Each structure stands twice: as structure tokens, then as C-alpha cells.
Amino acid sequence: MSRLEGLTAIVTGAASGIGLGTARLFAEEGANVVLADIDEQLLKQEVDNLQSEGLSVTRSTLDVTKKEAWAHTVQCALNTYHKIDILVNNAGIHRPDKLLDTELDVWHNVMDANATSVFLGMQQTIPHMQQLGKGSIINIVSVAALTGSGAAAGNGTAYSASKGAVRALTTHAANHFAKDQIRVNAIFPGPIKTPIMGERQKTIAERNKDVVPLPPYYGEARDIAYGALYFASDESRFVTGDELVIDGGSVR
């Protein structure tokens, strides 16, 4: 299949989990993909694997909280593939600290990694999409932005707040850049088995049986990637500011 044939995408947090699953699917669908991540060693390993399969991918080490790092990654995409059609803001971190237990430095770190990163990513890529005359931005949020409890929130006060900010940023950008044919949409994953869960991966199914009605009670990276593929492709050409929840029917 080639639903993204000839398009160029930047995917953040692409060395593992949802980001890697999305980058792989996009490349399989014909896109040129810049995989961006702060973990340089793991990123190189995964990009080498994808290239060995004949997929059109390259890599850029990226600290999503730094403006100059974003500028470097954007330039990498332009130098290699000459345009940017798609941006997937996926990188993020989680800290399971309740409100009264959250230290200020933790709050700032999570907000920077999860929300400031999205602001910077859109700020750096939108001008190039404007020049191109079109674009699609997909922000990976979380059902934690819709509820303060449950498995997705994981008691993370800063995490929930940061994802709420990304939800608002998505709506804001969708409204302001529709005139430029730049679509901005959000995906809200529920419980997804990814490395960010750490040791919690081992018990995810058992923990979620009471809140996720659809077996196996958790999703995988490719489930989110297919949602991103829809938003990235022309199949969603009349869709912007939308919110796609992929959570197995979780009780919220």
C-alpha cells in the first residue's frame, strides 16, 4: 500500500513505543520518515533496522524541549527530503506523582517534555508547511487529558496537566492554520503497552480488566499508528481539530 507515497514526516519519540510504531507504518506506506529521539544509541539501532528493510528513513537526535534542537531536526528533514508534510508530536515522559507530592522541578520537566515540546515542534514546522501549501500535524495526547483518574493518568498530576495543554494547543493551531491547509488533530491513547510503562507492562492486562472492556485490555503501538496514518493521509483531508480516542472503550 502507499497511502503516504512521496510525503515526508517527522516523528518524535521514535526510538521506541508509539513513535517507532508510527514511523514504521508511515514508511511502509511510502513516506520518507525522519525518526527523532533523544536516545541516540537506540535511535541509530532502530533506524538501521528499518533501513535494512529498504524503508526510506533517516534519524535526528532531538531534545524536544530545546528550540535549537528542533531547528536542527527540521533542517535535517529539509536537507534530506526537501520538505515537511507531516509532524507527529509523540515524545513525552510520565511521572506518577500525586498533586501534593509533585515537586516543582518534576512539574517543569514533565510540562517541558510533554507540552512545550509540542509548542516548539509546531512553531518550527508550520512555516515550512505554509510554504508548501499544506500539512498535517498529529499530536499524541492521552486519555489522561480527559480524566484525572484511571490507568492512563497513573496518578500523574503534571502528566495530566501537560496532556490537557496539548489538547488546547491542538485546538488553537487547528483554528489558526486551517486557512493554510494545515490540519492539526489529536489522538488520545488509553492503556498502551509501551516502554514508558516500565515494570507496569507486566501487569497491564490484569490491572485494566475492570476499566477496559475490550480484550486483551490494552493496546499496542500499531493501534495508535493506524489512527495517525488516517490523520496523515488525504483520507482525512476535511478533518481538523478532531480528537480520536483509542482506548478499548475505557470507562472514564
On the question of pLDDT at 242 being above 60, the answer is yes
Residue 137: exposure state from Cβ atoms within 10 A (0-12, 13-18, ≥19): buried
Q: What distance in Å separates the CA atoms of residue 219 and residue 127, rounded to the nearest whole number?
A: 34
Delineate the domains of the chain, giving CATH numbers in brackets. 8-246 (3.40.50.720)
Is 159 in the active site? yes
CB 159 within 8 A of CB 142: yes
Integer CA distances (angstroms), 22 to 13, 104, 195, in order: 10, 32, 15
pLDDT value, residue 213: 82
Assess whether pLDDT exceeds 60 at residue 177.
Answer: yes
Q: Residue 115: in which H helix or E strand, if any?
A: none
Predicted confidence at residue 212, as pLDDT, reads 86
Q: What rounded mean pLDDT belongs to the chain? A: 92
**Weakest mean pLDDT among 1-10, 143-152, 243-252:** 143-152
Determine the Cα–Cα distance for residues 10 and 74; give it in Å rounded to an integer. 8
Which of the pair, 3 or 149, is modelled with greater confidence?
3
**Can the peptide bond before residue 191 be classed as cis, meaning omega within 30 degrees of 0?**
no
Tell me the average pLDDT across 78-102: 95
Strand 8-12 with 32-37, pairing: parallel
Residues 8/32, Cβ–Cβ less than 8 Å = yes
pTM: predicted TM-score of the whole model, two decimal places:
0.94
The strand ranges marked E within the chain are: 8-12, 32-37, 57-61, 86-89, 135-140, 182-189, 192-193, 219-220, 243-246
Residue 192 vs residue 8, higher pLDDT: 8
Cross-strand bridge partners of residue 58: 34
pLDDT band at residue 149, thresholds of 50, 70 and 90?
low
Mean pLDDT confidence for 220-243: 98
In sequence order, the β-bridge partners of residue 88 are: 11, 138
pLDDT reading at 94 higher than 70:
yes
pLDDT value, residue 236: 98
Instruction: Kindly compute the dihedral angle of the four CA atoms of residues 251, 197, 220, 26, in this order, to the nearest 10 degrees.
Output: 120
Active-site residue (options: 81, 159, 217, 218): 159
* CA 145 – CA 141 distance, rounded (Å): 7
pLDDT digits (tens, 9 = 90+) for 201-221: 557 667 777 778 888 888 999
Smallest Cα–Cα separation from 56: which of 127, 108, 7, 125?
A: 7
pLDDT of residue 29: 98
Q: What is the pLDDT of residue 113?
A: 98
* Distance between CA atoms of residues 172 and 162, nearest Å: 15
| pLDDT tier for residue 193 given thresholds of 50, 70 and 90 | confident
**Among positive and negative, which fits the CA dihedral 107, 109, 115, 119?**
positive
Count the Cβ atoms, other than its own, within 10 Å of residue 193. 17
pLDDT for position 206: 72
pLDDT of res. 252: 58
Least confident piece of the model among 40-44, 108-112, 140-144, 216-220: 216-220
